[in-house]
């Protein structure tokens, strides 16, 4: 009885310590249940994903990705102000990674698209020159 009591007490004490620790972690987890959307600076009950905005990563609610575009090649959401649509193939690409053509004045998703667009531009201009001549 005496030993059992001591044992129980010890176990209780140990459990209690665990509970205390868990309790404080639970306390934080209650806050974590409220996800933080860094981009919109708000807490809420939503799942978050990583988005890129002006070269920085932010967490963002998956329910609030209206301003973001999924970029296949990067496997990441980018802000619409950081991306452009390739005028040749129509794919979204990150502006910083764009291939700018001095010839057409446009920016393309890849070197391949740029070359094709330039070829097209050159042959079109030849036709215009021929017609003009
Ligand atoms: Zn393209």
- pLDDT tens per residue, range 74-115: 999 999 999 999 999 999 999 999 999 999 999 999 999 999
For residue 38, the SS3 value is coil
Whether 36 contacts 43, CB under 8 Å: yes
Ligand 1 center to 88 CA (angstroms): 5
Residue 32 has pLDDT above 70, yes or no: no
Ligand 1 center to 119 CA (angstroms): 14
To which H or E segment does residue 18 belong?
helix 2-33
Q: How many angstroms separate the CA atoms of 120 and 83, rounded?
A: 24
Ligand 1 center to 122 CA (angstroms): 18
Query: What pLDDT is stored for residue 1 in this prediction?
Result: 54
30 compared with 78, residue with greater pLDDT:
78
Ligand 1 center to 23 CA (angstroms): 54
Query: What pLDDT is stored for residue 56 in this prediction?
Result: 97
Query: What pLDDT is stored for residue 76 in this prediction?
Result: 95
């Amino acid at each position: 009885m005496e030993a059992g009591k001591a044992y129980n007490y010890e176990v209780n004490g140990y459990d209690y310590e665990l509970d205390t620790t868990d309790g404080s972690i639970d306390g934080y987890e209650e806050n974590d249940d409220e996800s933080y959307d860094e981009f919109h600076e708000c807490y809420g009950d939503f799942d978050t994903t990583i988005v890129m905005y002006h070269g920085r990563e932010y967490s963002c609610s998956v329910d609030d990705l209206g301003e973001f575009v999924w970029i296949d090649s990067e496997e990441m959401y980018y802000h619409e102000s950081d991306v452009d649509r390739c005028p040749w193939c129509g794919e979204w690409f990150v502006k910083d990674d764009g291939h700018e053509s001095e010839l057409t004045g446009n920016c393309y998703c890849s070197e391949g698209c740029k070359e094709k667009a330039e070829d097209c531009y050159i042959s079109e201009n030849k036709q215009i020159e021929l017609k003009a001549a």
